[in-house]
Structure 1
Amino acid sequence: MEVYHLAELAQRMAEKNPNRTAILYHNSKTNEWNKVKWQKMYEMSLGVAKALAELGVEEHARIGIYSQNMRFSLWSELGIFMMRCISVPLYATCSPQQVEFVVNDAGLKIIFVGEQFQYNNAYEVQQSGKSCIEQIVIFDDRVIKKSDDHTSLYFEEFVRRGDSMRNETIAKVRCSQAMESDIATMIYTSGTTGKSKGVTITHSAFLWQIRVHQEVYPNITSKDLNFTFLPLSHIFEKGWVYVVLSVGAKVAILTDPKKVLLALPQIRPTMMCNVPRFWEKIFQGVKEKIDSFPKAVQSVIKHSINIGYRYQLDYRAKGLKVPIHIAVLNAIYSRTLFKLLKKKVGLQRVRFCPVAGAPLSIEINKFLQSVGFPIIVGYGLTETCATVSCSPLKNYDITSIGNIMPGLDAMIDPKTDEILLKGHIVTKGYWNNPEATKEAFTEDGWFKTGDAGRLVGKTLYFKERIKELYKTANGKYIAPQQIEGLLTSDSMIEQVAVIADGYKFVSALIYPNWNKLLKEAQERGFIFEDEDRQTLTRKHELQRIIMSHIEIAQASLAQFEKVKKITLLAEPFSIEKEELTNTLKLRRKVIIKNYSKEISNMYIDSPIVGPDGKPY
């Protein structure tokens, strides 16, 4: 299938199939999912380009999009591309301080905003006198503008003002001049380890990813329906959406990610990219449901999972012929138990589920594959326009993070085990930050990912984040993400931050599933009535229950890697307290600072008590 420059994507797709549905969006007024055809996509994208021409924007100008996922976001970005300008997405949850930093660093004179929260923050930044914002464009017509705001425009009015033949000519000429070497977008990293950096990504990187995804996954077709609810400001979802649109498949855009479980049965997608936490929740929910069934039913379900495991992982994953009795039994279970399970969450039609953003537990992946969820594990970075490696449809190792994408060179640093990369998709550098750019590359031009791994042929295996390795006072190295992944696979544990750097043993801050914890405590004869959460965090009985779950979850770890002491938290880590990035990764430095007292208390010389109440 021909791959079009993103500046002309809407126009070319509209010329070929003007009445084909491109996107669906939820209409909150009617509670229905409305369709947008490719002809409308082109007209609205061109409308944005003409409006930008009316404002006199020059080629390569940076333009901000500070919004939730909305149809306007895609129209605006495609219009920005038409004008040979650079899209600068901001997470919808960004604070005014974060907005101000990006605005000033990128030099944003124009910024599109989604709803009231984004408008209020952007207007505050504009009025502070510390930014270069000249024009705010508002997507949601329900936003109430400030009484002294005489310059901000609602989206429809913004588009109307640019509707002239002169502006259309400018937009079409610019579009025809767009080059693959142009910068398409600048995405600011979440900044888990330091100041946020603007990653420059060219159109050639997007186009290369589109081509190789079509090559590696020819089963993605125009008949597919993709469900989009991860932020389009994140390279994983953004890159994936352009892959999907380029093959003519439909994209259903969800504005409020909190409503994902309500929307899934309505959409019934065939594809959906996601992060591990979503599948961890699915896994925990299914396991709880299975445990609630009578023993006889549990036995049947366990047999079905075992058959699914053998079918998917013992044979299909290895490219081997499936024995007839396994194939027949798996077909029966796929049409009965597995179908009911997937229907329960609205995924009965799903056939392609890319997962990336963080390591997915191998045990959870095995379970999901066994019951028929088509998980495609991948690995990538903002700096590589998403995908570096991903699992093929056949002949894959479930313990790996997939095969290196065609046309990308990879090697492992022999001294540090760091994954190094070269290729068309790798960023040319960070905006306005030559020092960071120089630091990110080796002297001979290899990009340093910051991740340790090993490479067997073209198959890549993830080891740990190099910058997040902890070294205990005993000289042992700890990979906190690995431990946290094991612990959060238990439904009793919602969030965990492992502490170990410079300390003599591993400890953890735990935010539990309080409802489940109190229920188990009650079953054990402990009743806690009318006590607030903060008081409950100090209850020895509750800590012992959590430790019993932790011991089971970390059974595969070496003794020096195991969590020895915990602190229960009354409130979860949050983006608002800057403890999480916008992609829900832990900001370890902030967490350590915010909970310094609690951490210190865990290392006061005192006996370390195990789940049996005895000292270690």
Structure 2
Amino acid sequence: MASITRLFDIPYYQKEQFNSIPDALTTKENGVWVKTSTQEYIDKSNAISRALLQMGVQKDDKIAVISSNNRTEWHIMDIGILQTGAQNVPVYPTISEDDYEYILNHCGATYCFVSDTEVLRKINLIKDKVPQLKEVYSFDTINGCKNWTEVLKQGEEANNQDEVEARKNSIITDDLATIIYTSGTTGRPKGVMLSHRNIVSNVIDSAPRIPFQAGKSRALSFLPICHIFERMVVYLYQHYGVAIYFGESIEKISDNIKEVKPTVMTVVPRLIEKVYDKIYAKGNDLSGIKRKLFFWAIELGLKYEPYGANGFWYEFQLKIARKLIFSKWKEGLGGNLELMVSGSAALQPRLCRVFAAAEIPVMEGYGLSETSPVISVNDMRNRGFKIGTVGKPIDNVEVKIAEDGEILCKGPNVMLGYFKDETKTAEVIENGYFHTGDIGEIDAEGFLKITDRKKEMFKTSGGKYIAPQILENAMKQSRFIEQIMVIGDGQKMPAAFIQPNFDFVKDWAKIHKINIGNTNESMIANKIVIGRFQEEINVINEKFGHWEQIKRFELTPDVWTPDNGHLTPTMKLKRKIILEKYKNLYDKIYS
């Protein structure tokens, strides 16, 4: 039986365990889902490897792959590159030209494969400043740009497979596989070096937590493949013989879910919030008994506790709610969805409860690019699920809490270090333990709970410590609040910038017949709207000590997005940039 020690072993393992899955990788092209079988996947990957060797690619060369959407070609290139001993350097498509220039020069990329005209446009703007870059190829057909099929065809006509096999045999599990450039909330991105062993161990050790039916499940993949979370999960799908369908875009995800009818998909909390908001809005449009039943089911779902902890009467009511209301939620999500795996940010406990009640559990996990990424994850089975936590550490990963509350992690998943930066590596890895920068605790049952970012904690002028993420996560449970950033370092009191949930505020104003105008600016200037936000904050403030409570806030008219500079591609707050953007509001609060 084939064993998996290097990432490119995974397709061969899938072939041996599950024969050739007809839809191992599936991408929509011109309105049609185009399937690639396991055997085709292997054959095309080998063709890419043969061509790359003919093109002079050496062991430890770096090849950048930049794609705006997940697609079959990315994964064929990935295995094809890895088999040569070169490293696949995935890059976020939405970063600035300056960051493209920095990353391609920092890693020394010799070739670059891009998805579309927009990514190519950015590369062309900085190509002259990247002297070692030999050629750029595109997945889409673009005039004036070489196409990746030229490389594929060259490899299909080549007869140097013996050279590929020799190169594969020279690669050991501790060799570097990829460099992941972290999006970072400040400064230049850092290149996280991950070995084959780092990621393979994470696949193998995470696998027991995911209740897949081996060879029988179907996944929809749409989170950015350049991030290690989605990439590791796609390797995990392959290991389990899961048929993988790549979503067209985040805008079309609703249509793709109905077409693909997945049993599993990865999500970020923001997507879950949007799904819930859409469901809630539809329920709001109902009338009479249907409306009453809908909101009765919601209230029931918000009280959900796993493993029958709420007792017989609750479980009896839940059974009725599932049949009458929640079953329709499942239908709206394709009808087969059994599991969503959430990462990258904290999931609101209310969403965790209500989706678990609807029998579409969201299993929240935790990890970082530096840990390949999974450190811990919830699991519905064997009492491994606890709302408000990120689950128990996975096999072979040791977690301990330092004296100052920081989460430390040790295991085969911990990165080799930061590329070309021994100083920063030494700052975060000490005695084999990776210092996550997150503050947390492990409860009596072994569940890990994240409470804040170590670097983001601050002290008021009164000497009181404030953990902003705890406040932010609590405030975001309000459906009025889309994004919030707590401020007040060195000031007499905590305050906040708030991006309203503009769609929800519009619906609320319509129901209450309040004229808030037609723009975001007019909405946030409305005294009734401001008063309503104050009510929300007052209620949530009661959960905190007097020194922690949000004393003042300002609403912002902008939608906080990665493109607008407020968030990283993984939806984390860029605190320094947000402070700069709203310096006038900061001065207004503290003047």
| Residue in structure 2 matched with residue 412 of structure 1 by the alignment | 401
Cα distance in 2 between the residues matched to 1:304 and 1:287: 11
Distance 1:83 1:171 in 2: 7
SS at 2:418 equivalent: coil
Shift of 1:191: 1.2
Counterpart position of 1:148 = none
Q: In structure 2, do the counterparts of structure 1 residues 508 and 124 end up closer, same or farther at CA, with 3 Å as the change threshold?
A: same
**Structure 1 partner of 2:545:** 558
**Alignment partner for residue 441 of structure 1, among 412, 429, 432?**
429
CA displacement, residues 404-442 of structure 1 (integer Å, 9 cap, x when unaligned): 11111111112x111111111111211100010000122
Q: 1:307 to 1:94 in 2, by over 3 A?
A: closer
Distance (whole Å) between structure 1 residues aligned to residue 94 and residue 228 of structure 2: 16
Q: Deviations over 1:181-216 (max 9, x none)?
A: 111111011111333111111111222122222333
How many Å apart are 1:504 and its aligned residue?
1.9
**Compared with structure 1, are the counterparts of its residues 156 and 219 closer, same or farther at alpha carbon in structure 2 (3 Å cutoff)?**
closer
Deviates more, 1:188-197 or 1:155-164: 155-164
Call closer, same or farther: CA 1:536–1:165 in 2, change over 3 Å.
closer
Q: Contact 1:214–1:220 (CA<8 Å) still a contact in 2?
A: no
- Range with greater deviation from structure 2 (9-18 or 416-425): 9-18
* Runs of 5+ consecutive residues of structure 1 not aligned to the other structure: 146-151, 605-616
In structure 1, give the amino acid aligned to 2:505: L
Structure 1, 17-26 or 108-117: larger mean CA deviation: 17-26
Q: Which AA in structure 2 matches 1:185?
A: T
Query: Equivalents in 1 of 2:504, 2:41: separation in Å?
Result: 47
- Is the Cα contact below 8 Å between 2:408 and 2:434 reproduced in 1? yes
In structure 2, the residue matched to 1:510 is: 498
Q: Is the 8 A contact 1:112 1:136 kept in 2?
A: yes
What does the per-residue CA deviation read over 1:468-517, in whole Å, with 9 as the maximum and x for residues that have no partner? 11322222222222222233333322222222222222222222233443
TM-score using structure 2 length: 0.92
1:315 to 294, 307, 322: 307
Equivalent position of 2:343 in the other structure: 356
Structure 1 residue 454: deviation in Å? 1.2
Give the gaps of 5 or more residues in structure 2: none
Counterpart of 1:118?
119
Contact 1:19 1:37 in 2 (8 A): yes
Q: Map of 1:153-552 to 2, 5 A cutoff?
A: 153-217=146-210, 219-294=212-287, 296-297=289-290, 299-301=292-294, 304=297, 313-315=305-307, 323=312, 330-344=318-332, 346-392=333-379, 393-395=381-383, 396-414=385-403, 416-442=404-430, 444-456=431-443, 458-521=446-509, 526-529=514-517, 532-552=519-539
Q: Distance in 1 between matches of 2:12 and 2:158?
A: 17
Which residue number corresponds to residue 608 of structure 1? Answer: none
Label 1:164 to 1:34 Cα distance change in 2 as closer, same or farther (>3 A): closer
Which whole-Å CA distance do the structure 2 matches of 1:182 and 1:144 have between them? 38
Give the stretch that moved more between structures: 503-512 or 89-98: 503-512
CA contact (8 A) 2:516 2:522 kept: no
1:580 aligns with 2:533: no
Q: Distance in 2 between matches of 1:308 and 1:132?
A: 57
Identity %, equivalent residues: 25
Q: Does 1:50 align with 2:50?
A: yes
Query: What SS class does the counterpart of residue 401 from structure 1 fall into?
Result: coil
TM-score, structure 1 as length reference: 0.89
SS at match of 2:265: coil
- Alpha-carbon RMSD across the aligned residues, in angstroms, is 2.5
SS in structure 2 at match of 1:21: coil
Which piece of structure 1 moves more, 517-526 or 581-590? 517-526
Q: Secondary structure at the match of 2:436?
A: strand
> Which shows bigger deviation, 300-309 or 235-244?
300-309
Greater alpha carbon shift after TM alignment, 561-570 vs 353-362: 561-570
Equivalent in the alignment of 2:27: 25
- How far off its partner does 1:99 sit? 0.8
The 5 Å alignment of 1:96-111 reads 96-111=97-112
1:612 corresponding residue in structure 2: none
**What is residue 94 of structure 1 aligned with on the other side?**
95
Aligned 8 A contact 2:65 2:88 in 1: yes
Where 2:417 maps in the other structure, the secondary structure is: coil
Paired residues of 2:223 and 2:230 also in contact (CA < 8 A): yes
Q: Secondary structure at the match of 2:498?
A: strand
Range 182-191 or range 7-16, more displaced: 7-16
Give the alignment of 1:49-68 within 5 angstroms: 49-68=49-68
My pick for the range that moved more, 206-215 or 96-105, is: 206-215
Offset, 1:95: 1.6
Q: Which digits, 9 at most, give the CA deviation of each residue in 1:374-433, with x for residues without a partner?
A: 11111111111011011122313223211111111111112x111111111111211100
TM-aligned CA deviation for residue 218 of structure 1: 5.2
Matched pairs, number: 585
